[in-house]
C-alpha cells in the first residue's frame, strides 16, 4: 500500500469470509425507508473484499420490506429497509448459499410516524391535516349549537346534539372544511349544525344538529292571560352522522297562564343526551324553570327561563339552548350557545 493512502476493501484479507457485519441507524421512523450496510469479514475481523456472495435479508419486524437479494461488491453493499410499525427490531443478512455466513444488526428503534395531538375548533374554518395525524387512530367530536328561545314568556331553546366519529381516513396535507354552528341569535332561531365535510364528496364525515328554536307566546295580555307555547326540540341525533350520537335536550314549555319562560335544553355530550329544560310554571306558584344539564364533555347546560321581572339566561357553552324570557322582560339576548368541534389523534 502506498504511504498515506487508504484504499478500503481491495487491500483487505484474502481469507474466507466467516461472517457479515450489518450496520444500521440506531433510530429510524416507522413506515419510512432507511439505509443499512453489510460488510463481509474473515474470522479475524478483517474485511474480505473478494467475497461476492448473494445475501438475503430478514428482520424481527413483522411485515418488514427490504431491497431484493443482492451480491456484495468487494465484500460490501448498501441496502434499504422499511419497518411498517413502531418498535425495536433488528436486521439480519445471510448468504443464500452458505447459511453460516450471516450477521445481525444492533437494535434499531423505529419511532411512530404519528404523534398524539388534539385541536378544538370554536369557529368554522378550513383545516389542513398536520404531519403526524394518524388516519387509523383518531376521534372527532361535534357539538351542535343551542337554539334561541321564543319571545314574551316563550319556550326555551333546544340544546345541540352530539356526534362522535372514529378514524376519519384523511392524511397529512389534506384540507378539511370544518363547520361550527352558531348559536340561535334571534327569537325562535335554530342553532347551527357542527361537523366536518369530506372535501372529495361534500358528504358529512361527522355531523351534529343544532337545537330548534322555542315557540313564541300566543297571547300576552296580563298575568291572567293565556300562554301556551312549546319549547324547541333538541338537536336531532337521528339525522346526524357519527358512530355515536346523542340528542340535545328539549327546551321547557310555557304552561297556560304562566308569565315565566321555559328553561333551555342542555347540549348532548359523550355521556349521553342533553337534559330537558323545565317548564315555565305559573308565576303565583314559583315554578323552578331551570335549564337542562349538559351531557358531559364540553356540553353546556340550557339557560334558565325568566321569572317575574328577571330575564332568561343564555345557554352555556357549548351548545346549550337559551332560557325563555318573561312577558315583562324581553330585552335579551338569551341566545343559544355556539357549537364546537374537537379532533384528537393518537400514535
Q: Residues 6 or more apart from 4 whose CB is under 8 A from it?
A: none
146 and 184 in contact (C-beta within 8 Å)? Answer: yes
| Model confidence band, residue 331 (pLDDT cutoffs 50, 70, 90) | low
Q: Residues 6 or more apart from 202 whose CB is under 8 A from it?
A: none
Residue, of 46 and 281, whose pLDDT is higher? 46
Q: How far apart, in Å, are the Cα atoms of 16 and each of 40, 97, 101, 102, 323?
A: 10, 14, 10, 13, 89
Q: Residues 6 or more apart from 172 whose CB is under 8 A from it?
A: 129, 130, 131, 132, 133
pLDDT tens digits, 237-271: 999 999 999 999 999 888 766 667 888 999 999 99
Return the domain boundaries, the chain: 19-111, 114-347
- Residue 222 pLDDT > 50: no
- Residue 193 pLDDT > 90: yes
**What's the rounded mean pLDDT across residues 139-152?**
91
- Residue 5 pLDDT > 80: no
pLDDT tens digits, 83-130: 999 999 999 999 999 999 999 999 999 999 999 999 999 999 999 999
- Residue 225 pLDDT > 60: no
Average pLDDT, the chain: 88
Architecture of domain 19-111: Sandwich (2.60)
**What's the rounded mean pLDDT across residues 189-203?**
94
| Model confidence band, residue 51 (pLDDT cutoffs 50, 70, 90) | very high
| Model confidence band, residue 318 (pLDDT cutoffs 50, 70, 90) | very high
Whole-number pLDDT of residue 330: 56
Whole-number pLDDT of residue 13: 86
Give the predicted TM-score (pTM) of the model.
Answer: 0.81
What is the Cα–Cα distance from 45 to 58, expressed in whole angstroms? 23
pLDDT tens digits, 299-308: 999 888 877 6
What is the Cα–Cα distance from 47 to 186, expressed in whole angstroms? 83
Q: What are the two backbone dihedrals, phi and then psi, of residue 285, each rounded to the nearest 5 degrees?
A: -110, 5
DSSP code per residue over 268-326: PBTTBPPPPPPPB--GGGT---PPPPP-STTPPPPPPPPBTTBPP-PPPTTTPPPPPP-
What is the Cα–Cα distance from 78 to 72, expressed in whole angstroms? 9
Amino acid at each position: 500500500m502506498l504511504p498515506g493512502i487508504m484504499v478500503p476493501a481491495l487491500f483487505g484479507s484474502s481469507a474466507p469470509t466467516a461472517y457479515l457485519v450489518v450496520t444500521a441507524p440506531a433510530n429510524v421512523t416507522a413506515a419510512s425507508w432507511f439505509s443499512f450496510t453489510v460488510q463481509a469479514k474473515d474470522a479475524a475481523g478483517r474485511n474480505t473484499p473478494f467475497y461476492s456472495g448473494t445475501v438475503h435479508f430478514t428482520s424481527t419486524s413483522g411485515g418488514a420490506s427490504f431491497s431484493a437479494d443482492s451480491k456484495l461488491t468487494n465484500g460490501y453493499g448498501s441496502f434499504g429497509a422499511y419497518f411498517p410499525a413502531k418498535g425495536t427490531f433488528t436486521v439480519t443478512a445471510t448468504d443464500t448459499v452458505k447459511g453460516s455466513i450471516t450477521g445481525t444488526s444492533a437494535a434499531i428503534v423505529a419511532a411512530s410516524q404519528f404523534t398524539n395531538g388534539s385541536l378544538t375548533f370554536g369557529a368554522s374554518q378550513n383545516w389542513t391535516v398536520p404531519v403526524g395525524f394518524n388516519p387509523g387512530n383518531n376521534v372527532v367530536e361535534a357539538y351542535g349549537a343551542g337554539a334561541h328561545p321564543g319571545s314574551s314568556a316563550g319556550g326555551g331553546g333546544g340544546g345541540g346534539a352530539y356526534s362522535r366519529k372514529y378514524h376519519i381516513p384523511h392524511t397529512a396535507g389534506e384540507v378539511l372544511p370544518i363547520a361550527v354552528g352558531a348559536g340561535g341569535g334571534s327569537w325562535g332561531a335554530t342553532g347551527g349544525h357542527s361537523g366536518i365535510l369530506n372535501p372529495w364528496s361534500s358528504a358529512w364525515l361527522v355531523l351534529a344538529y343544532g337545537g330548534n328554536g322555542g315557540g313564541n307566546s300566543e297571547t300576552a295580555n296580563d298575568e291572567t292571560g293565556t300562554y301556551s307555547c312549546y319549547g324547541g326540540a333538541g338537536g336531532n341525533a337521528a339525522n346526524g352522522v357519527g358512530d355515536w350520537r346523542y340528542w340535545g335536550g328539549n327546551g321547557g314549555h310555557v304552561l297556560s297562564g304562566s308569565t315565566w319562560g321555559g328553561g333551555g335544553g342542555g347540549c348532548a355530550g359523550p355521556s349521553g343526551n342533553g337534559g330537558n329544560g323545565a317548564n315555565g310554571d305559573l308565576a303565583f306558584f314559583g315554578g323552578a324553570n331551570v335549564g337542562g344539564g349538559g351531557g358531559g364533555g364540553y356540553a353546556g347546560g340550557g339557560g334558565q327561563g325568566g321569572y317575574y321581572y328577571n330575564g332568561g339566561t343564555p345557554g352555556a357553552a357549548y351548545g346549550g339552548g337559551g332560557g325563555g324570557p318573561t312577558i315583562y322582560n324581553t330585552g335579551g339576548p338569551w341566545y343559544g350557545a355556539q357549537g364546537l368541534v374537537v379532533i384528537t389523534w393518537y400514535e
